Amino acid sequence: HLQLRCFRMLYLSLFSEYMFFQSFLQSFYSQKFFFFVFSSRDFYAMITESAFDRNEVSFMNIRHKRKEKEESVSTARELFQWVAAIVAAVLIALAIDNFVIVNAQIPSGSMENTIMTGDRVIGNRFAYSFSDPQRFDIIIFRYPDDERQLFIKRIIGLPGETVEIRDGKIYLNGSDEPLEDVQTKETMVGSFGPYTVPENSYFVMGDNRNDSKDSRYWTNTFVTKDEILGKAIFRYWPISEFKILE
């Protein structure tokens, strides 16, 4: 009986140790698997997150480069629009100045007191496109003795008329009655003529009759219609002296 009891005790002891060892192994492997599973999941998450970060950075770089490119294109387009606007404005101004108006500055006092030295006036190039110049019109024209220069005077004699100045008064076609003249700076003195105005030509004088280099003194006495650039319409400078010219 004693041997049987000892054997049973040994058996129970070995069995208990076996069960403990089995339990330990199960616990170890389950924890190791658990650790592996979760470690693998974290590693995957880390890789995924890293890849996502790289993709996000790459995407942000692409967006930044695209934005820079768009800004560069926008700046170039804006610059081109400004240049185009300036060029268009210059071309329009040149076209208007050469085909629509005459922009002239008065260099002398020959038209005082109607127009003063240094004044700026605008002439209409189309004024005589469908009609002929009239007496007392103020015209801007190429100087007959030197067409590089522009002059501004008032028309006195029309084509086919005879103009004579006696004692400062103007007579047309041998009339005994002097021409009712425009208001001048001062009473004209002297006698000139007679001048017979050719067809398609005009006899002109400045309003400052005693200090005007005009048809009375030129080698080529008359202004042809082809030499007339336009009819003076108004004075625009100085601004405070703006007025319609008559």
pLDDT tens digits along 81-120: 888 888 888 888 788 877 889 999 999 999 999 999 999 9
Active-site residue, selected from the candidate residues 153, 185, 212, 215: 153
User: Rounded to 5 degrees, what angle do the CA atoms 145, 132, 228 make?
Assistant: 25
Query: In the annotation, is 153 catalytic?
Result: yes
Over residues 66-88, the mean pLDDT reads 79
Q: At residue 6, does pLDDT exceed 90?
A: no
Q: At residue 245, does pLDDT exceed 60?
A: yes
Q: Which residue has the higher pLDDT, 204 or 59?
A: 204
Q: At residue 13, does pLDDT exceed 80?
A: no
Q: At residue 56, does pLDDT exceed 80?
A: no
DSSP code at position 18: H
Sole residue written with tokens 């189309």: 126
User: Rounded to 5 degrees, what angle do the CA atoms 89, 94, 98 make?
Assistant: 150
Q: At residue 58, does pLDDT exceed 80?
A: no
Active-site residue, selected from the candidate residues 13, 69, 72, 110: 110
Over residues 200-220, the mean pLDDT reads 96
Q: pLDDT band for position 10 (50/70/90)? A: low
Over residues 168-181, the mean pLDDT reads 96
pLDDT-above-90 percentage for the chain: 58
Are the CB atoms for 156 and 203 separated by under 8 Å? yes
pTM above 0.85, yes or no: no
Are the CB atoms for 155 and 137 separated by under 8 Å? yes
Sequence letter at residue 141: F
Whole-angstrom Cα distance, residue 80 to residue 16? 94
Query: In the annotation, is 231 catalytic?
Result: no
Q: pLDDT band for position 15 (50/70/90)? A: low
Contacts 24+ apart (CB under 8 A), 164-171: 164/192, 164/193, 164/194, 164/195, 165/190, 165/191, 165/192, 165/193, 165/216, 166/191, 167/191, 168/209
Over residues 217-246, the mean pLDDT reads 95
- Bridge partners (DSSP) of residue 202 are 223
Instruction: Single out the residue of 101, 118, 139 nearest to residue 238, CA to CA.
Output: 118
Q: At residue 41, does pLDDT exceed 50?
A: no
Residue 68 confidence (pLDDT): 72
Whole-angstrom Cα distance, residue 238 to residue 180? 30
Structure tokens at 231: 């009819």
